[in-house]
C-alpha cells in the first residue's frame, strides 16, 4: 500500500470511530422519575471521649475536708496582732478595752480573709480541671452517623432502588441509555 491509501484508510477509521462514539452519545438521554420512598441508612462507629467525672485520690479529698481547720491558726494570729496593735495605740485611752477587742476582731477577720483568698486561688488552680492528681478515663461510645439514603423510585411503571449520598426531592433525574440487544 502506498502512502496515500494508508492516509485514506486511517482517516476513514478515525471518522468511523468518531461516528460510533457520537452514535453512543445520541443513545443517552435524561428524564424525571418519581421518588416513592427514601430511607436513611446509618452506620455505627466507635469514638473516644474523655469522661469528665474524674476521680480524685482520697488524700486530696481529705485536704479539702480540713479546709475549715486550716483557717483557725491564721484567724487567731490575726486577732492577736490586731489586739496588740490596738493596745499599743490606745494605752492611755479610757476606751482601751473596747479598742483591744475591736482590734482583735478586725485582725482575726483580716487573717481569715487572707487564708480564704489563698485557699480559693489554690483550689481554682488545682480544682477539677487543673488537678494533677485527678484521673479521668477515656471511654468509647457508639456514634450513629448517616451512611447513605436507600431510594426507591418509579420510572415508566417500573420500580427501581438505588443508594444516594443526599436526600432527593419528590422527583429525581435519571440517565437513560438506549442500546440494541
143 closest CA partner among 47, 41, 40, 42: 47
Q: Whose grid coordinates read 483580716?
A: 110
Express each pLDDT in 99-140 by its tens digit: 888 888 898 888 888 776 665 555 555 444 445 556 677 788
pTM above 0.85, yes or no: no
Give the whole-angstrom CA distance, residue 101 versus residue 98.
5
The set of residues, in sequence order, having a beta carbon less than 8 Å from that of 68 and lying 6+ positions away, is: none
149 neighbors 164 (Cβ within 8 angstroms): yes
User: Quick one: which H or E segment has residue 88?
Assistant: helix 72-89
Give the whole-angstrom CA distance, residue 149 versus residue 169.
12
Average predicted confidence (pLDDT) for the chain: 76
What confidence score (pLDDT) does residue 3 get?
Answer: 65
Amino acid at each position: 500500500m502506498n502512502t496515500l491509501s494508508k492516509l485514506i484508510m486511517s482517516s476513514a477509521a478515525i471518522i468511523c470511530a468518531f461516528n460510533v462514539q457520537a452514535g453512543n452519545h445520541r443513545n443517552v438521554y435524561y428524564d424525571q422519575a418519581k421518588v416513592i420512598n427514601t430511607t436513611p441508612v446509618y452506620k455505627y462507629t466507635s469514638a473516644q471521649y474523655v469522661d469528665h467525672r474524674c476521680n480524685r485520690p482520697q488524700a486530696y479529698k481529705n485536704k479539702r475536708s480540713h479546709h475549715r481547720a486550716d483557717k483557725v491558726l491564721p484567724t487567731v494570729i490575726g486577732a492577736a496582732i490586731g489586739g496588740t496593735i490596738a493596745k499599743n495605740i490606745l494605752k492611755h485611752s479610757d476606751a482601751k478595752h473596747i479598742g483591744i477587742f475591736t482590734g482583735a476582731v478586725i485582725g482575726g477577720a483580716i487573717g481569715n480573709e487572707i487564708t480564704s483568698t489563698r485557699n480559693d486561688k489554690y483550689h481554682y488552680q488545682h480544682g477539677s480541671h487543673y488537678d494533677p492528681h485527678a484521673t479521668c478515663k477515656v471511654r468509647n461510645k457508639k456514634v450513629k452517623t448517616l451512611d447513605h439514603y436507600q431510594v426507591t423510585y418509579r420510572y415508566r411503571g417500573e420500580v427501581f432502588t438505588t443508594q444516594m449520598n443526599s436526600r432527593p426531592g419528590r422527583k429525581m433525574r435519571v440517565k437513560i441509555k438506549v442500546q440494541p440487544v
